[in-house]
Structure 1
Amino acid sequence: MEKLRIATEPAELDVPLIHRFLSEESTWARGIPLATVEESIRHSLNFGLFSGPAQVAYARVVTDYATFAYLVDVFVLAEHRGKGYSAELMAAIMEHPRLQGLRRFMLATSTAHGLYAKFGFTAPLKPQALMERFAPNVYANGS
């Protein structure tokens, strides 16, 4: 197995790869413009997982670094799944020094409940207290 490395500096990330996955393969950001991906990277704490020189996984955390964080855009490239990379990525996120002591750390998932449960994530204790504005097709018109 190649040596795994986590990069958090935006300059180290393979932005074209991230954009391609999100815009073409993800179920949650299909059609997202490159400029939107670049902006989201600039304003997030990013985690790129590299196997050798190639980026094979990604996640980003939107946070104030004091009280709240939201984990988004988590993926492992299809050809690299089943190797434990998602657990490696999650361990790096959960151990990051800037993400300690937060009152709330949230995420949304439709497929990986088991993975996130291993890191202490549960269904909301009071789901009736949570609200959202959800625009699932915001990128459909090239906006």
Structure 2
Amino acid sequence: MQYTNENYFIYDDVERVDLPKVKELLSISYWASERTIDVIEKSVENSECFSLYDDEIQIGFARVVSDFSTFGYIADVIVDPDYRGQGLGKWLVETVVNDPRWKGKFLMLATDDAHGLYQKHGFKQSPKFMGFY
């Protein structure tokens, strides 16, 4: 599927994932800066991916890990710093959470920032979440 917003596009086709660009984007994140290209490639292969493009240049990324029955975990939501502040991250998250594959399923994510962005889409903080690192 392709989504359009003026000169920007979101593709949910794994073939549109530019692995070197995703590696570059994730290298500036606090959560995935040390991931190797091999780890990123494997995560892409095992996820439903959403690639944000400005014409032919990938400028953002998000993915969902799901059992396609009950839940989906949203991960690696990122937009190139040069494109932030234009509502593209909001559009990317909106596109991900409104994808028909997740209708009626429990969606979750973990983040240290951007709580306001996710709360606008119905996400709530939960004291039940536990993590193991």
Amino acid paired to 2:81: A
Structure 2: unaligned runs, 5 residues or longer? none
Amino acid paired to 1:65: F
Which residue number in structure 1 is paired with residue 31 of structure 2? Answer: 28
8 Å contact kept, 2:25–2:79: no
Q: Select the structure of larger CA radius of gyration.
A: 1
Higher fraction of strand: 2
Matched, 1:87 2:90: yes
* More deviation, 34-43/8-17: 8-17
Identity of aligned residues (%): 36
What CA RMSD, in Å, does the superposition of the two structures yield over aligned residues? 1.3
Structure 1: unaligned runs, 5 residues or longer? 135-143
Matched residue pairs, number?
129
Amino acid paired to 2:12: T
Which of 29, 43, 54 pairs up with 2:57? 54
TM-score scaled by length of structure 2:
0.91
Is the partner of 1:114 in helix, strand or coil? helix
TM-score scaled by length of structure 1:
0.85
Which residue number in structure 2 is paired with residue 123 of structure 1? Answer: 125
Q: Which has the higher contact order (CA 8 A, sep 6+)?
A: 1
2:34 and 2:93 mapped to 1: Cα distance?
A: 26
Which residue number in structure 2 is paired with residue 111 of structure 1? Answer: 113
2:23 and 2:59 mapped to 1: Cα distance?
A: 13
Matched, 1:4 2:3: no
